[in-house]
Structure 1
Amino acid sequence: MKRKNTGITLILSLFMSILLILCAGCISDNSGSLQTTDNSEQSTGYKTVVDMRGVEVTIPEDPQRVVAMSRSLIDTTMYIFGKSDKIVGASISTKPTAAGTYVYNGNDYTVNNWIGQLLYPEIKNLTNVGGFGGPYGSPNAETVAQLEPDLFILRDMGASSEDTNKFIEQLESMGIPVVVLQYPSCYDNPSIDTIYEEIALLGEVFGNEDEADQIIDTMKSRVDFISERTAGIPEDEKVDVLYFGAPTWAKERYGGAGYAFGSGTIEIAFMEDVINANNVYTDSGTNLVSAEQMLALDPDKIILCTYSGYHPPRQLYDEEMYGGIQEMTAIQSGEVYSLSSTPCKSERLELPINLMIAAKAIYPDRFEDIDLESWTREYIIELYDTDEEATDEIMDALMFEYLGIS
């Protein structure tokens, strides 16, 4: 009996040992599984992107409350992504209406020329968070914080780096993730490729990489088309051009004729690299110039941008306030051309439009087969997928009828 009991005891002990081992294994497996779940919960919903500063930024996988500080590049790109409704604050003009006003022969031509507002009118009702440069007012971190954003996207214009960095530090100290895009002027040699990089980064941020690639392809195909047509022009055949801003207050306030764009500006970099023309103003930056300086520069052609208002060619031809420069060869020969009536600076998604306008103005023989309006309509439709009515509205905002280009 004792042997029998001993055998049973051994069997029971062995069975219990095996059972304990199995249970321990299950507990270990379950514990590991639970730990994995905890880690997954902590990481799900977030991702890390490297912005254009080279900084790793942890952001939501699907941002829901975005503040966008830029001259409309971010919001128009988000529109194409189908993410406009995620914007809770942006750089919005502090003027009563974001409009281009031009009065000629007693007629008042006023039009909303902010394409971002035409595409997504609701943006006008959002909180203006200011901006570094432009008609937005100074940025305020407290205003941004009150919007409770889960993501802040800033386009660094490169002009106020100390103020920009301080502002970013304020936002980050509040726990707001900041992704920084860098404007072409942030680099020693401004390039259109920088804009493509910005768009690609936005695609990564919002999980719209395919759409970002399509935007880049759409833009690049037009830019390359222009570049191919102007390639190989000999130096002695390149046209001398002055890129000029003609605000009416330049003379009234400062006694100057207007503002000349020089080296280091994106306008000149793009004109030289893509259109293959010579810039006659060789100083660095954008500077106030006198009538005497303008007469001395005496370019073959003048390109006018929308510098603090819309300025068509006939303004330089006819208005008395420009009498001091009306002896210039370009003005006398009718070689003054305006860019489209979009806000000053050509670094948005509409960049190819202004490049084509300038290219046709500078080298008309090379682009005589291009109908500017048809070419532009096709680009807008491909870029923004607009219907006929929306496309018409954007075309009206560009004010092509006043460009002085056929």
Structure 2
Amino acid sequence: MIKSKSLKRFLVVLAIAGLTLSAVGCSSNKPESKSPETKVESSNFKPVEFVYSDGAKDYNVKVNTPRQKAVTLSQFMTEMLLALDLGDRMVGTALLDNPILPEFEEAYKKIPELKIGEGHSISKEAFMATGADFVSGWDMSISEQTTGAPDELIKNDITPFLAKSYSPDATVETVYEDFDLLGKIFGVEDKAKEVVDKMKNDIKNVTDKAGKIKEEDRPKVMVYDSGEDKAMAVGGGLANNLIELAGGKNVFGKENKPYINATWESVVAENPEVIVVTDYLAGSPVQEKIDFLKKHPALKNVDAIKNNKIYVVGLADLSPGVRNSKVIEKMHGYFYGENK
């Protein structure tokens, strides 16, 4: 039986349920945090100013020195910093959705893993013990109970950061903006440009092909996350943009939320030709979700079900970050028969 999983970790308005200690929580045997060996000289650092919003209030943040001790409370932010070669400046991490990218495994193993309690919470004492001067993750990662309220963090020269690409109207261009800002905050602007340039080049290789496909020939796509009574599916936002860049048409792409709860009647009416199922550690096994869709009586005449065009991507692939260029290529292959 599949239980509906709210993806508040990816949505601004929904709350994640069912995080288990076995998936993301228990402290690992990773080595204790060490002082970073590589530092950016403060004399060469240009102060950075930006606005951090917790949804209720905006906070003006000023970074006067390059950040040296980062705590990341989402996989996408962990991998964004690792892509910037900042592993030696990461003093705590938590909340994997999928296995870490192979190219980051070695660096990731050296980062202490923070214990996650019920409801996506970490111990404030454990957070403060890291000596962090930067913290980022999902929108509910930063709070008075877990890390200290934003104003408390700012007062103590701890930089709170929420990726702009987490917003409901984000596109891959917003991801580039996040990398650019992170490069400035950590004093690694050249590396940030290198990462973004590679992403742009990889995506262009796909969009050059997808751009030649007529609108009417693009497959109708639904991304299914979970749910039995209704289907939690991708609406607008970053994931929708990734589908479009891959050459597909998201059947719920006109919705103004990143994820929606769609009725099965609406799914049948939209008749997707391809269904992409998200896989993540805290959710039901992905094969269980696929079997549920195939056996659902209302879906028997949906093209994707009839033609067995059901594919899998990781939740981390659709979250903001370095994986986005990879999943665009993967989905293009799914949509046009290049990948099986």
Q: Which runs of 5+ in 1 are unaligned?
A: 1-42, 100-112, 369-404
Deviations 1:241-284 (A, max 9, x none): 112113xxx33xxx33x312112x31112222x13432222433
Quick one: which of 101, 115, 127 aligns to 1:144?
Answer: 127
Q: Is this contact kept in 1: 2:71–2:92, CA < 8 A?
A: yes
What CA distance in whole angstroms lies between the structure 2 residues aligned with 1:345 and 1:269? 10
Deviations 1:114-152 (A, max 9, x none): 33872434356432478xxxx971355554323222x11
Q: Is this contact kept in 2: 1:241–1:278, CA < 8 A?
A: yes
Q: Is this contact kept in 2: 1:157–1:183, CA < 8 A?
A: no
Say which SS state the counterpart of residue 305 (structure 1) adopts.
strand
Quick one: which of 72, 78, 86 aligns to 1:83?
Answer: 86
Say which SS state the counterpart of residue 47 (structure 2) adopts.
strand
Q: Is this contact kept in 1: 2:275–2:309, CA < 8 A?
A: yes
1:171 aligns with 2:153: yes
Quick one: which of 99, 115, 121 aligns to 2:101?
Answer: 115
Alignment of 1:13-32 (within 5 A): none
Bigger-Rg structure (1/2): 1
Q: Is this contact kept in 2: 1:219–1:352, CA < 8 A?
A: yes
What CA distance in whole angstroms lies between the structure 2 residues aligned with 1:217 and 1:295? 40
Alignment of 1:3-402 (within 5 A): 48-51=47-50, 53=52, 55-61=60-66, 63-73=67-77, 75-93=78-96, 113-115=99-101, 118-122=105-109, 125-128=112-115, 137-138=120-121, 141-149=124-132, 151-155=133-137, 157=139, 167-173=149-155, 175-186=156-167, 189-246=169-226, 250-251=227-228, 255-256=229-230, 258-263=231-236, 265-272=237-244, 274-281=245-252, 282-285=254-257, 286-306=259-279, 308-309=283-284, 311=286, 316=290, 322-339=296-313, 341=314, 343=316, 345-364=318-337, 368=338
The answer for the alignment partner of 1:103 in structure 2 is none
- The CA RMSD over aligned residues, in Å, is 3.7
Q: Which moved more, 1:221-230 or 1:156-165?
A: 156-165
Q: 1:304 is matched by which residue type in structure 2?
A: V
Q: Which runs of 5+ in 2 are unaligned?
A: 1-41, 53-58
What CA distance in whole angstroms lies between the structure 2 residues aligned with 1:284 and 1:345? 17
> Larger relative CO (CA 8 A, sep 6+): 1 or 2?
2
Instruction: Return closer, same or farther for 1:82/1:294 CA change in 2, 3 Å cut-off.
Output: closer
What CA distance in whole angstroms lies between the structure 2 residues aligned with 1:128 and 1:136? 12
Instruction: Return closer, same or farther for 1:208/1:269 CA change in 2, 3 Å cut-off.
Output: same
Q: Is this contact kept in 2: 1:184–1:195, CA < 8 A?
A: yes
Q: Is this contact kept in 2: 1:298–1:329, CA < 8 A?
A: yes
Q: 1:144 is matched by which residue type in structure 2?
A: F
Deviations 1:37-71 (A, max 9, x none): xxxxxx8597521236594513434x443222333
What CA distance in whole angstroms lies between the structure 2 residues aligned with 1:266 and 1:162? 29
Q: Is this contact kept in 1: 2:91–2:111, CA < 8 A?
A: no
What CA distance in whole angstroms lies between the structure 1 residues aligned with 2:68 and 2:143? 28
